[in-house]
Structures are given as structure tokens and as C-alpha cells.
Structure 1
Amino acid sequence: MSTEQKTAETEGAAPQSHAFQAEVARLLHLMVHSVYSNKDIFLRELVSNAADACERLRHAALTDPDLTRDNPDFAIRLSADKAAGRLVVSDNGIGMTREEMIENLGTIARSGTRAFMDKLGEARDGSALIGQFGVGFYSAFMVADRVEVTSRAAGAQDGWRWRSDGLGSFTVEPVAADDPDLPVRGTQVVLHLKEDAAEYAQAGTIERIVRAYSAHVPVPILLAEATPEGDAAEGGDEPKERQLADGSALWTRPKSEIGEDEYREFYGHVSGQFDAPALTLHYRAEGRHEYSVLLFLPSMKPFDLFDPDRKGRVKLYVRRVFIADDVELLPAWLRFVRGIIDSADLPLNLSREMLQHNPVLESIRKGVTNRVLSELQKLSENDAEAYGKLWETFGPVLKEGLYEDFERREKLLGLARFRSDRSGDNGWRSLADYVADMRENQTQIFYATGSGLDAIKASPHLEGFRARGVEVLYLSDPVDAFWVQVAQGFDGKPFQSVTQGAAALDGIPLKTGEASEKPGGEAEGEGADIGLVAAFLKETLGERVSDVRVSARLAESPVCLVAPENGPDRQLEKLMSRQQGAGGGAFAPVLEFNPSHTLLKRLSGALSGPGDRQHLADTALLLFDQALILDGEVPADPVAFARRLSAVMDKGF
């Protein structure tokens, strides 16, 4: 006796009521009570689910041929009944058990669900988000006030029926094997359409949607339209079926026969997105290994781009048989790529564990990854504007490869683009651009890391570089603090943080028109007593700093903090400090001061006379706290900071 039969006897024939998971209830409320400009999405999502069910059964039948022996031909059938206001979507795929029905149709067990609902609530047209977040089934309630799902799992005797009006609960009841509405195998979804959605029971509307969004799913799609009473189709009472899609695999056709609209439609099917792909790669590799590739680089960020699992979403096929959609076909730093790879060499019955270590698959992974980089290189050379948009969208992810992929680091450095003080607000600079414009005596590629572009631009560390016309790259992504630590450099020029070690600016002349090569534009004699000030600051600040020295970085600000020569960049130090918690970082910073600044000159003068030492100590501590604030941090003791500030403001020099 099957598990389903036992469960049916235990539960009895009465429908069992269940409450929707809280997130589902909220999701349904948003869908039912919001207005979307494109409700057509529901049919694409139901067809996509049906195609997935067929593909999964095709895969399962590789190890259990009896599952499809009675009906080896897969199909998706659409049935429209205008008079009854009803639309039926059915498939002969893998079907669902009672437990799967409750789990699949009553809960959302995916990361990103809450983010999806937040976006859905904010979006003017949330339909463009539905497919991305794997909640496509629930889009049926945009057009239906009641939905029934009847399903029989492949190999089972009895089936189950799920019903809901989308208002907070659903029922599940057993369906006897002889019930005429129970499919021989697979799932039937019946939508009782709302009055304002009656058009979705019209054959013309259905055909338009299928041809627009689902013409290239790998399963044939058939449409049957119920005829009015007394006007039966010729040849009998049953309506004739006509084919809307033949289930052919788009990737097997020559590129010359495929139009942009067909590519875009297939991209929508495999990605769940509505944007146009920024780049399409379609080719067949022949030689040692044969495989077909149809990949798309989106123009819009997928919702799960920064999921902690960092998994790709490229589907693996073997001789047009779907195998899996979670195999590492591309490195994690290309996880935004969508599409399929169809191998002619892999065995169909290869286990999921063996797939990850298969030499054929490893060869495919290497070849496709290099091809993606090659296509990106061509795009950067032939259409800089289009490449700039793509980099702006996915640059933070591609830069993960600079940290993780030593083998391809040089290629990725060539593809990398950066904002800088020469790029303008919307422009990009390559490392080749940077090296070509380096100043006289400049030997390093300077960069500044920070939490955002505005914070970086306002950093006092850049003042001396601007005074000398030295370009500084702005690195504002979290990954930037890591990859620059492992990258050796570019074109023989090492990377150097503007907040780490000595500034290495002494040999680079100031820009034409500057009054002097001394910090602040003044002669050395007009500045503070460097030795006196440095000694006092170091003695007063103690272990708060590892050293105090005059700065070549500063031109306008009085002080700044920099990392020691052998310590991490200041931004990396902050990230490490957050990871370590209240204990803070392990490297005390260096305090650099501008001897030409008014505050430092006055401090120098006060130190030369019989000044109030407590007042001068408060001034030194305030300078340190000011450097912390300029560096994006807060004073360690805000109360003491406020007290010192009040005392110094009250007394003055």
C-alpha cells in the first residue's frame, strides 16, 4: 500500500484545513489588493512550474523508467472555458504528494522572501519581481478568486486536491484514483477567474502570452478552447487541441535562425526577470568535449545576488535532459549569469556528489568561464558605455574574483573599472588609463577605500595627492578592502593605499601654480616646531597611536590617521575590528599632522611657553578625536570628548 493510500485512510475523505505561513498570507494580500501593470506574468509562472515538473520527472525516470513507461511524452496543456470563466493549466510531470503539496503551496522556504515582500510593497509594478523570487504560483491570485490544484505523484495510485481563495487558509483532501479530474500523472491547476480577468479565458489572450513569454520552454504546450454548447468542434464533442510551442530547445538551433525577441523570451524563462539581457553568449564547443552554451548577463541585479550561499543559477542539461540547477558550472563571482549548459559527454545517471568533481564538468567550467571573460573584454573594447553600465551593476561581484581566482586575476584587473578624481561623477577609469596618466616620479597606483564615494572624496588623506595632481582610485565596495591586499599590482605598478604607510609623495612635484612643495603651501620656517609637536603628541596620546609624524598627505586639514607600514589598510582594519567586537583592532594607527596648519602652529607656540599643560593635553586629545571623526569613526569616550571640547572652546589659546 502506498504512503498516499495510508494517509488517505488515516485522514479520511474530509478536507483538512491549514493556515498559510504568515509570509504567504502577507504576500497573497499584497497580490490580491494591489494593481500591477502586467498581470500576464501569472501564466508564464504556471507554465514554467509545469515545465520544471516535466523536466524533473524526465530526470527521475533515468533511474526509474517505470515512472514514465505508460506515457513517455511530456506536454503542458492549457484549457480555456470562456463561458465558465475558467482556465486550466495541467502537466504530466512528476506531480506532488500530500506533504509536498502542503510544503510547496502553503509556505515559502526561501531566503530573500521578506526582501521580496518589502520590494513588492514598494514597487509600482511588482510583477517584474515575482519570477525572481520563486513565488510564481501565488501570482495566480492576481487573476483568480479561487484556485484548485489536483495532483498525483508519479508512481502513486491516489492523488490530492488543494483549494484556496487566497484569504488566509487552504484545504487539502484525498482524491480517489477513479476521480475523472485526477490526472494519470502530474498536476492540474484550475483558476476560477475574477470578473475583471475574464480575458484570460480567451484563446487569443492565452496564445499571445505563451508566444511572448513561454514559446521556448523545453516541453510542448497545447491549447484547447471549450466550444459553446451546440457548437462542438468538427469530429466530436471534445475541443481540438492546437500546439502553441513545440518544446524544441532554443540552444540547439543555429544563431542565425534566432531573433533577439526569441533570445529575450528564453532569458525571461530561465532567469525569472523582465529586463533585457545586457549580453548574450550562444555557442557550441567542439573538440575534446562537446557542449552547447546559452548564457545571459542580466542588465538588472537578480534579487539573490548577495545571498550568503553565493550559488549560481545556470541549469545543467545532458543531451537535452535537465539534470540540476545548483551545480557549480561557473565560479561564485559569476553567479549573476543565467542560462543553460548542455553537455553531450556527461553520463545521465551521474550523482550530484560526483558532478562536483567530474573532470568533464571541470573542463566545461574552465572553458565557459574563460569565454565569459573574453566576451566581456570584447564588449569593453567595442562598446565602453554598455560595458560601463554592466560593470556598475555587477562590478562588486566580479571583484570577488580578484580575491579568489589567482589564475584569472590579470584578466579581471584588465576588466576592472573604477571611479576616481578624474572619472567624473558617471565615468569609469581602467587601470590602463591610470598607468598611462601617472605623474612624474610616480611609481605606485594609489587608492582610497571607504564606506561610500562621498566619504572617500571628503577624506583628508587625499589632499596632498590632489595638490600634486596624483590620481587616486575610489574603492567603496566592501570587497575592495580585501582584494587589494592580495593583488600584486598592474603593469608592474604596485597598489598603495593612501591611508597606509608613508605617502611616497616627496619626489612628485606639486601642480603648476602651487606656492611651495611644503605641506600647506608654506616654507618650513613658517610652520610648527615639528620635533616639539611630535614629541608632545606622542607622549600625550600614548598607546592610542603607534607613531606621530609630519604629513605629506595633508594640505588643508590639521591631522589624519594612517595605518602603519606593515599593518592593514584603515578600511580593512575597521572591518577586522567589527569582526573582533569590542576588543577592537590589533594595530594602533599613526597620527600625521600638518605643521603649516594654524592649529598646529598655535600648539607649537604654546608648547614653547609656560602654557597650561592640562589644557594643552586636552588639545592633543581633541586633535586625535578629530582625526578619528575625519576617518569615519567616533571618539572612544564621547563624554570626555565633549568635556574637552567645552574646556578648550571656553579658554582658547
Structure 2
Amino acid sequence: MAKKQFKAESKRLLDLMVNSIYTHHEIFLREIVSNASDACDKLCYKALTDESVGLDRKDFFIELKTDKDARLLTVSDNGIGMDREDLENNLGVIASSGSFQFKQELGDDAKDTDVIGQFGVGFYSAFMVADHITVVTKKYGCDTAYMWQSAGADGYTITECEKDGVGTDVILHLRPDTDAEKFSEYLEGWHIQELIRKYSDYIRFPIRMEVSKTRRKEGSPDDKPEYETYTEVETLNSMVPIWQRPKSKVTKEEYDKFYRDKFNDYADPQRVLRVSAEGAVTYTALLFVPSQQPFNYYSRDFEAGLQLYSSGVLIMDKCADLLPEHFRFVRGVVDSPDLSLNISRELLQHDRQLKVIAANLDKKIRADLAKMMKDEPEEYAKFWKNFGRQIKYGVVSDFGAHKQDLQDLLLFYSSTEKKPVSLADYISRMKEGQEVIYYAAGESVESIDRLPQLEALKDAGTEILYFTEDVDEFAAQTLTAYQEKKFQSALSGDAAPAESKDGETEKLEDGDHKAALDFVKETLGERVKEVRASKILKSHPVCLTAGPGLSFEMEKYFAAVQPEQKLKADRILELNTSHPVFAALEQAVSADPERAKKYAELLYDQALLIAGLPLEDPSGYTDLVCGLLV
């Protein structure tokens, strides 16, 4: 029979596919197996209304065979098969999909089938690894079998042939190996098993192959055991994914094992969440919160995303678009038959369906974490230790777009409770007359707890939140308030206890110490924006506070990540006018101005040290201290 030519458009598409559309050559096996599954599904559906088919779902299968000497890989099924017209329509015209047409014919009943193919180009992905393809097929209800053969863009032939039973055999003659690609790997049993488990593990029909195994020979001595190799037909796929089994039929041990095996974690997950939805978009999701932080979690090497399946066939190993950035630690799978895939199935169209799934998963994860916080606070504390920083980043990211959704999940260390607490818990314990949420930022809980600026608030029993991570102050500034209570730094000059502010203010504004304060400002010059009598110091002589906007901890952060910008917070030197040191300063101002200048320099350097800021001249500071000791 004369060779038939592909249409010109099909030739160009075939060349594009082999060279461009598919990123990984190994995808071809997924496509051929998916087509075989579709063929089984079609005949299985027909069997529901046609008793003469004589087959139940359990009778259908897909079989793989290899012939290393002949370089042949065969994928066979006992599905619906094809006649000459089907071969012309489905294999003679690239991008014509019999599966897509079948789903259209079913109409509303299509949701009850598991047909995978949509675009009709998957079959031709085999030309990435094969230089010649033979299809031997016999359609159910027909007496004649046909053979379709092609070596690629040059065209194809269709001839009658013999075949026992209905179904299709796709026979691939693999290309010769090159330095860049070892096509003979696709003839190795171990590699085929690996690809089936990766891409087609949840195909609903058994995928069988004869595999080589080793066993001990009967009667061989214990001290010198002998082994022999034998072959055995084995089902390579598990067929029913764990997320499609009823919840009541899956044990915790099974979830844990699935998670460890699927995501290469030696520890069980802390949380398991199953989500199912039907309607505008139908999907099933099985999500896990790890019980430990991955070693590379906050590095560029960490890849976030969920495994995405379409009717049990792996489409993407890490689909980042299914998770918001603040929940990037979640692992799991999403399976949906409704996704709009592109022709290679490797990329998703960014459409409404994907956005709907992502938005719903975001809500479900948030609700589950909120439930854990309420019902299992100790478990939530463990989660927070691992991934709390990520939630804080979520508050700050996208200009605070997610802050309302995430604010109730936040925890910060409490000065009174001695543990991380929620903002709602803090609000519930606020003292009468307290109008703000007090916080203090520093390198650690211990270093913050020693800050002299906090003494008055702590003595008054006021609860303070300790911010120990670089993102904390940014999160507070992004929130601005919680339940109408604004955030205020306890390290600012206005952070005096509510019940003592009025009297203290009257005492400090009487102007008695103006001369000494002006002297210190003149001595320090532009190094400080202001020198003032402190409202917040109690038993300590001096401290630095920052002006509005940039805090000292923010200054340190930007100095580490953007040193070229040289951003600096305003420095306000606060002096405790009730301290003996200030009395000594005042006396020196009038009696010994040169010594008073040394006192001013010393107090400023001490304030820098308390704030954790670098000394401008460490050697000069040492000389100054030594000079005042003699």
C-alpha cells in the first residue's frame, strides 16, 4: 500500500513536538500508557450497556514488553482498539484526539469515566525516542485488524494484518544511543518500573511487565548459598491512590508511610489534611505539614509546590501556583480531571480552575492551622517553631495583602507568660487603660529582657511582646493594629506605663535640667537628633531610642542586606535625670566643662552598647574609660 503523507500542518507540528513541546523525553511512556488506559476505559464503558463485550473492569490490563536485541519496546492493551477510519483520524492527523471526541459524545456522563487524553498529540511524543513506530490494532466489533507504520514526518502506511483479540499494540523501535541520550535505558526493566511509578502509578488498570528477580536455589548449603535469576510477571502500578480511598479506610500509619516514601522525609508528618470538592471544579487533595523544617527550607535550593495529577496521571512534580508563598512548607498532591492542560500536559494554562483550587486550599490550610492553635496549643507551638517565620513573611509580602488572613495565626514571645502567645491572647490580658500593644525588638529574648528601657513597664506588670526575628517589626508595621489596638515599641521614649504618664510628664517638663541636656547635645552634635530627659528609665542612667519610622533593629537588618544604602535610625539620647550619674554630669557642666564633655561621650557610647549598635571608635571609648578612672 502506498505511503500516505501527513498534512503539511501535521508535519510542522510533529517536528515541533519532537524538538520543542516536551521538556523530558521520558514523558513518552506516560503518554502511550495514558492512551492505552483511555482505550480500556472506552471498552469498559461500553461493557456497561453491551453484555456481549463479556469483560468486567478487572479484566482489562496494559502490558509492557522489551526486546533488547531488536531494540523494541511494546505497550499493549485489550481496550476498544481502532479500525482503519480511527487510524486515519487519530494517527493520520496530528492533534486529533479520539479521547476528546469520546468525552464530547458522552456529555454529562463523561464525569463517570477516567479518560485522560485531550489533545491527540501525546502518541507522537514517542518519536522523541523511536525512529520507527508500528501500531497493530483490532477494534471491538470488527473482524479485521490493521497495522499502522511510520518513521516520522515522511508519512505512514496502513495495511490489514492478523491479531488475536481486540486491543492495540504500540511497538517502538528505539533510536541509536548518542552521547547526549541513552535511548537503550528505556529497554531496562528497572528504568521502566521507575517511570511507571513516577508518572502512571495511579492508572486504574494494572500495568504488567515480566521482570527479572533473584532467589536462593533450593537445597543450596547455608554456608555457601547459591542464587538463580528468574522472571515473573508483576503489576507495576498501585492503581488506587491513597487520596481516592475513603477516609475511614486509610490508617494513620498508611498516611505516614505514603508521606515518607513520596516526599523523601524520614520523619512522619505533623498534620494530614484531606480536601475534596465537586462543582465548578472537581478535585481531591491530600496535604501534609512536615514535623520538621527541611534543612534547605530558607535557601534558594528549596522548591515549593504540590504534585499535580490529572485523573491519576502525574502532570507536574512541583506546582508552586497551587500554594500561596506563606504556606510553601506544605507538601502533598492535588488530583483533578477538570484542569485545562496544554498539549504537552507539562504546563498548566493559568486559568480560573487552577486559581479556584489554590484559593480553596489556602482557606482549608488556614482553617486547619487555626483549629490546631485552639485545640492543640502544644502541637501548634511545635509547628510555629518550624514554620512561624514563614507566616510572618506572609503578613509582610505583597504589601500586606494577606495580613487579615494570617494575623490570627501569629505568635510572639510574651514577657509575662514566658512563651509565645497569640495577639488575641495578648489583647485579652491588657491592663485597664492600656491602649497599645507593646513590643520590644532585639537579638534574643535574653538580650531584650535586660534592656533598661523596659524596666518601668515590667515593674508595672505590663505585658511586652519580644520580637527576636528580623521580620517581626516589619510584620507589626504592616499590621499597624490588631483589634483596633495599635502596635507601639516599648523602646520608644513615649512608652511609659499608662498609670504614671501624667505625673511623670509634668515633672520632666519643668525645665530644671535644660542646661545639662543642651550641653550634651552640643557636645555630641549631629551624632544624635535630640537629648532629652527620659520618661522610661527607672534605675539605669542612659539609653538610646529611635525616632519614628526606622528602628535600630531595622537599621541592623538593612546594614546586613543592603549595606550600600547606609540607612540609619534617628538617635535620641535619653538621660535619667533622677540617677546619680546625671547629678555628676550636671555638676561637671558648671564646674569642669572638659570633664563634662567626657561624661557626655561616655554616656553616648554606653547607650550605643545597650542598643547593640557599633561603637564609632572602640579604642577611643577604652581610652575614655581609662582616663576617667585615674
CA distance in 1, matches of 2:344, 2:474: 36
Aligned to 1:410: 404
Q: Deviations over 1:395-437 (max 9, x none)?
A: 011111111264542231111111111222xx32111111111
Change (3 A) 1:647 1:321: same
SS at match of 2:482: coil
User: Does the CA contact (< 8 Å) of 1:528 and 1:604 recur in 2?
Assistant: no
**Residue in structure 2 matching 1:325, options 317, 321, 335:** 317
Change (3 A) 1:554 1:270: farther
Q: Deviations over 1:340-362 (max 9, x none)?
A: 11122113336789737322111
Aligned to 1:619: 599
CA distance in 2, matches of 1:74, 1:338: 32
CA distance in 1, matches of 2:447, 2:208: 55
**Residue in structure 2 matching 1:604, options 568, 576, 586:** 586
Q: Deviations over 1:141-189 (max 9, x none)?
A: xxxxxxxxxxxxx9742348xxxxxxxxxxx999896xxxx65267559
The offset of 1:459, in angstroms, is: 2.0
Q: Check if 1:184 corresponds to 2:187.
A: yes
After superposition, the CA RMSD in angstroms is: 4.2
Q: Check if 1:393 corresponds to 2:396.
A: no
CA distance in 2, matches of 1:319, 1:575: 47
| Equivalent AA in structure 1 for residue 559 of structure 2 | S
Aligned to 1:198: none
SS at match of 2:491: coil
- 1:425-440 → structure 2 map (5 Å cutoff): 427-440=419-432
CA distance in 1, matches of 2:448, 2:291: 27
Change (3 A) 1:582 1:349: closer
User: Does the CA contact (< 8 Å) of 2:272 and 2:288 recur in 1?
Assistant: yes
The offset of 1:603, in angstroms, is: 0.9
CA distance in 2, matches of 1:621, 1:174: 72
User: Does the CA contact (< 8 Å) of 1:464 and 1:555 recur in 2?
Assistant: yes
Change (3 A) 1:259 1:622: same
| Equivalent AA in structure 2 for residue 411 of structure 1 | D
SS at match of 1:226: strand
**Residue in structure 2 matching 1:157, options 157, 175, 194:** 175
Aligned to 1:642: 622
User: Does the CA contact (< 8 Å) of 2:212 and 2:231 recur in 1?
Assistant: yes
Change (3 A) 1:364 1:537: same
CA distance in 1, matches of 2:306, 2:535: 51
Aligned to 1:588: 570
| Equivalent AA in structure 2 for residue 300 of structure 1 | Q
CA distance in 2, matches of 1:638, 1:596: 28
Larger radius of gyration: 2
**Residue in structure 2 matching 1:337, options 322, 330, 336:** 330
SS at match of 1:399: helix
**Residue in structure 1 matching 2:608, options 619, 623, 628:** 628
User: Does the CA contact (< 8 Å) of 1:402 and 1:483 recur in 2?
Assistant: yes
Q: Deviations over 1:71-110 (max 9, x none)?
A: x958899xxxxxxxxxxxxx99x99x99xxxxxxxxxxxx
CA distance in 1, matches of 2:348, 2:404: 29
Tell me whether 573-582 or 220-229 shows the greater mean CA deviation: 220-229
User: Does the CA contact (< 8 Å) of 2:293 and 2:387 recur in 1?
Assistant: yes
Aligned to 1:302: 294
TM, length-normalised to structure 1: 0.63
CA distance in 2, matches of 1:155, 1:458: 76
SS at match of 1:325: strand
Change (3 A) 1:466 1:258: same
**Residue in structure 2 matching 1:508, options 484, 495, 499:** 499
TM, length-normalised to structure 2: 0.66
SS at match of 1:508: helix
| Equivalent AA in structure 1 for residue 531 of structure 2 | V
CA distance in 2, matches of 1:393, 1:75: 45
Aligned to 1:358: 351
CA distance in 2, matches of 1:278, 1:473: 27
CA distance in 2, matches of 1:616, 1:358: 71
Aligned to 2:243: 251
Aligned to 2:11: none
Aligned to 2:526: 543
Q: Check if 1:553 corresponds to 2:547.
A: no
Q: Check if 1:226 corresponds to 2:214.
A: yes
User: Does the CA contact (< 8 Å) of 1:376 and 1:415 recur in 2?
Assistant: yes
Aligned to 1:573: 555
Query: Which structure 1 segments of 5+ residues have no match?
Result: 1-52, 78-90, 99-153, 161-171, 191-212, 511-515
The offset of 1:606, in angstroms, is: 2.1
CA distance in 1, matches of 2:65, 2:368: 36
Aligned to 2:465: 473
CA distance in 1, matches of 2:410, 2:466: 13
| Equivalent AA in structure 2 for residue 636 of structure 1 | E
Q: Deviations over 1:180-234 (max 9, x none)?
A: xx652675599xxxxxxxxxxxxxxxxxxxxxx99x96487987543455899xx
Change (3 A) 1:352 1:320: closer
Tell me whether 242-251 or 432-441 shows the greater mean CA deviation: 242-251
| Equivalent AA in structure 2 for residue 363 of structure 1 | V
Change (3 A) 1:604 1:290: same
Q: Deviations over 1:509-554 (max 9, x none)?
A: 49xxxxx9759xxx969x9953223211111111111111122222
The offset of 1:581, in angstroms, is: 2.3
Change (3 A) 1:449 1:374: same
Query: Which structure 2 segments of 5+ residues have no match?
Result: 1-23, 40-60, 67-73, 76-124, 130-171, 221-227
Change (3 A) 1:398 1:279: same
CA distance in 1, matches of 2:494, 2:218: 90
The offset of 1:442, in angstroms, is: 1.0
User: Does the CA contact (< 8 Å) of 1:316 and 1:342 recur in 2?
Assistant: yes
User: Does the CA contact (< 8 Å) of 1:499 and 1:570 recur in 2?
Assistant: no
The offset of 1:637, in angstroms, is: 1.3
The offset of 1:336, in angstroms, is: 0.9
- 1:53-72 → structure 2 map (5 Å cutoff): 56-57=27-28
| Equivalent AA in structure 1 for residue 477 of structure 2 | Q
**Residue in structure 2 matching 1:455, options 427, 439, 447:** 447
CA distance in 1, matches of 2:497, 2:417: 25
